[in-house]
């Protein structure tokens, strides 16, 4: 009888120890679940007319991001590798009520920008990407996303050097609303080549690439 009782005790002890051991093993390094999103807005040429659509995307981002997540929106203009091109950036507070206030403020700034945005002569997408990567690294977020709201047609000012590889390890790059230019209609290969070039560049840098042209389907924008 004693041996049976001892066996029972061992079984019960084992059964109790298993969840303890499992939970202890799970208590190691906490998973970094914070997200950071850097959105690049193309303001070159006639693309400024598309900024209303970008505003919807920003609203969606503000609704999706939670406390602890970071969001930055920057314009792509003639020289985008600059802090000055960042329109607004913030890391949402741990307290949901404060985070909501930050989101309202962010939205206000963006509304103001959309109203007053001016076209730029050139389109320095690479410079913007470089700035985005730097900022995303600074946030230390576990999930990093760059959203490029552009037609992906890069036009650099004279003397600008952008022939370098981007370091995009662990960064998801999503091209939004890649509109077809009038020249693309004449030769669609131009459009395809443009998109392929960017895809190659991003994949070579270690990032992932995705194109979303139908802005009604942005529900899983941050889900990967």
Buried b (16+ CB within 10 A) or exposed e, 62-94: bebbebbbbbbbbbbbbbbbeeebbbbbbbbee
Task: Note whether 218 binds another protein by CB under 8 A.
Answer: no
Q: Which of 15, 19, 30, 165 binds another protein (CB under 8 A)?
A: 30
Task: Note whether 216 binds another protein by CB under 8 A.
Answer: no
Q: Which of 15, 19, 20, 27 binds another protein (CB under 8 A)?
A: 27
Cβ atoms of 136 and 38 closer than 8 Å: yes
Give the integer Cα–Cα distance in Å for 115 and 13. Answer: 67
Binding mask 104-143 for another protein (x = CB under 8 A): x--x------------------------------------
Of 142, 132, 126, 111, give the one whose Cα is nearest residue 222: 142
Cβ atoms of 90 and 74 closer than 8 Å: no
Residue whose CB is less far from another protein, 63 or 161: 63
Q: Which of 9, 14, 18, 33 binds another protein (CB under 8 A)?
A: 33
Total residues contacting another protein by CB under 8 A comes to 26
Task: Note whether 95 binds another protein by CB under 8 A.
Answer: yes
The helix (run of H) or strand (run of E) holding residue 212 is strand 208-212
Q: Which of 15, 19, 20, 26 binds another protein (CB under 8 A)?
A: 26
**Alpha helices, H only, the chain:** 2-26, 51-64, 96-116, 125-139, 182-186, 188-204
Q: Which of 45, 59, 78, 160 binds another protein (CB under 8 A)?
A: 59
Residue whose CB is less far from another protein, 37 or 178: 37
List of residues contacting another protein (CB under 8 A): 1, 4-5, 23, 26-28, 30-31, 33-34, 59, 62-63, 66-68, 94-97, 99-100, 103-104, 107
């Amino acid at each position: 009888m004693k041996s049976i009782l001892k066996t029972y005790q061992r079984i019960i002890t084992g059964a109790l120890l298993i969840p303890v051991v499992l939970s202890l093993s799970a208590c190691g390094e906490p998973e970094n679940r914070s997200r950071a999103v850097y959105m690049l807005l193309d303001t070159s040429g006639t693309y400024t007319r598309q900024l209303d659509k970008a505003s919807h995307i920003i609203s969606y981002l503000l609704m999706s991001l939670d406390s602890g997540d970071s969001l930055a929106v920057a314009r792509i203009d003639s020289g985008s590798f600059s802090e000055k091109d960042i329109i607004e950036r913030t890391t949402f507070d741990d307290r949901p009520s404060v985070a909501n206030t930050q989101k309202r403020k962010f939205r206000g700034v963006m509304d103001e920008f959309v109203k007053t945005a001016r076209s730029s002569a050139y389109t320095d997408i690479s410079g913007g990407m470089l700035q985005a990567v730097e900022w995303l690294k600074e946030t230390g977020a576990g999930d990093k996303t760059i959203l490029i709201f552009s037609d992906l047609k890069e036009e650099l000012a004279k003397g600008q050097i952008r022939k370098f590889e981007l370091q995009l390890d662990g960064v998801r790059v999503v091209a939004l609303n890649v509109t077809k230019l009038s020249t693309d209609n004449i030769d669609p290969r131009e459009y395809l080549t443009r998109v392929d070039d960017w895809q190659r560049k991003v994949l070579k840098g270690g990032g992932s690439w995705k194109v979303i042209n139908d802005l009604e389907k942005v529900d899983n924008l941050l889900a990967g």
